[in-house]
A and B are shown apart, each in its own frame.
Chain A
Amino acid sequence: MKNYLYILVMGIVTITIRILPLTLIRKQVKNRFLQSFLYYVPYVTLAVMTFPAIIHATQSKISGIVALVVGTIAAWLGFDLFKVAVSCCGIVLILELFLV
């Protein structure tokens, strides 16, 4: 039951965050520090969440590390979201046939 309350909190906060600027702010954010901070946040937070978590997600640490490398290369080469995700899954599947 408590999970529903958690989900309600997450849902309300997420939707409010998305809607407020769109409905209230009609002008560009002017503060340079705030603007830069908001710009950098997504990249930092996603990087922090990816590593080292990715190496604990798989059965073998090695396949997790290789998935990180393969995903980084695929994204660097400009593959779209779906292809990058699939190449990470694929390499883990193949490697763990030998590793696990």
Chain B
Amino acid sequence: MHAPRLGSHRQVLSQGMRDGFPIGLGYLAVSFSLGITARNAGITPIQGFLMSLLCNASAGEYVGITLIAASASFIEVALATIVTNLRYILMSCAMSQRMDPKLPLHHRILVGYDINDEVFGITIARPGNLDPWYSYGAFATSVPFWATGTALGIVAGNLLPLRLVSAFSVALYGMFLAVIIPPARKDKVVLLLVLMGFAASFVGSLIPFFSQIAEGTRTIILTIVISALAAFIFPRKQEEEVAAE
């Protein structure tokens, strides 16, 4: 709305690159751990690189990998990918509210390519209408690390001592915790849901029949049931939605 556009692309691009770089470093550690999981599922370094380049989604890729390991059907993989990445629909909706209505379609498509928790966080934190060049800068310094880290994890997971593999394998879960715990601290409903998620998943892995279902499918079922119940019992206020993001 009030952001000057002409001649400032280069400057905005370099701001995006600067802010994306620390995200890229974090990605390297986490995607390495994802690569170790991928290696155990029989995925090659090139396949891992390609997967991370296309998806750039830790949880989505993780579930996809567990389903690939279980030789699941393509429909199952597609459904699991939709469910685990549902939050990107919400983020994409939120970002659509902050775009210049006149922004051409090709910019919307390119910005949409890599909406994820971290990039969404730094993008939405900027004032005024979203500048696609900021997103491009952030992509340039973060996505390559994510893809390279995945491939490295698949390659070096073989060479590393078991001790280090074991340590690296929790990086992914550490990242999940970093996403869910801060909002849980602020919002009691989210805290309750996190605890319920832990408990339900634990019980689900123990009880007969249900524990026989593939891990990824169990994740989908539990997520939909718990989230739907929560949306029914604790509907959110409209304004809260935007403020919380």
Interface, chain A (partner B; CB < 8 A): 3-7, 9-11, 13-15, 17-23, 25-26, 28-29, 32-54, 57-59, 63-64, 67-68, 71-72, 74-76, 78-82, 84-90, 92-93, 96-97, 100
Checking B63, B166, B201 against A92 with a beta-carbon cut-off of 8 angstroms, the contacting residue is B166
Checking B101, B196, B238 against A26 with a beta-carbon cut-off of 8 angstroms, the contacting residue is B101
B14 within 8 A of A: no
Q: Are B51 and A47 in touch, CB under 8 angstroms?
A: no
Q: Are B176 and A44 in touch, CB under 8 angstroms?
A: no
Known: A18-B115, A28-B97, A81-B26. A59 touches B166 (CB 8 A): yes
Q: Are A7 and B174 in touch, CB under 8 angstroms?
A: no
Q: Are B167 and A96 in touch, CB under 8 angstroms?
A: yes
Number of interface residues of B (CB under 8 A): 106
Majority DSSP secondary structure for residues of A touching B: helix
Chain A residue at smallest Cβ distance from B162: A59
Interface, chain B (partner A; CB < 8 A): 22, 25-26, 29-30, 33, 42-44, 47, 50-51, 54-57, 59-64, 67-68, 74, 77-78, 81-90, 92-93, 95-97, 99, 101, 105, 108-109, 111-115, 117-118, 162-164, 166-185, 189-190, 193-198, 200-202, 205, 215, 218-219, 222-223, 226-228, 230-232, 234-236, 238, 241, 244
Chain A residue at smallest Cβ distance from B240: A39
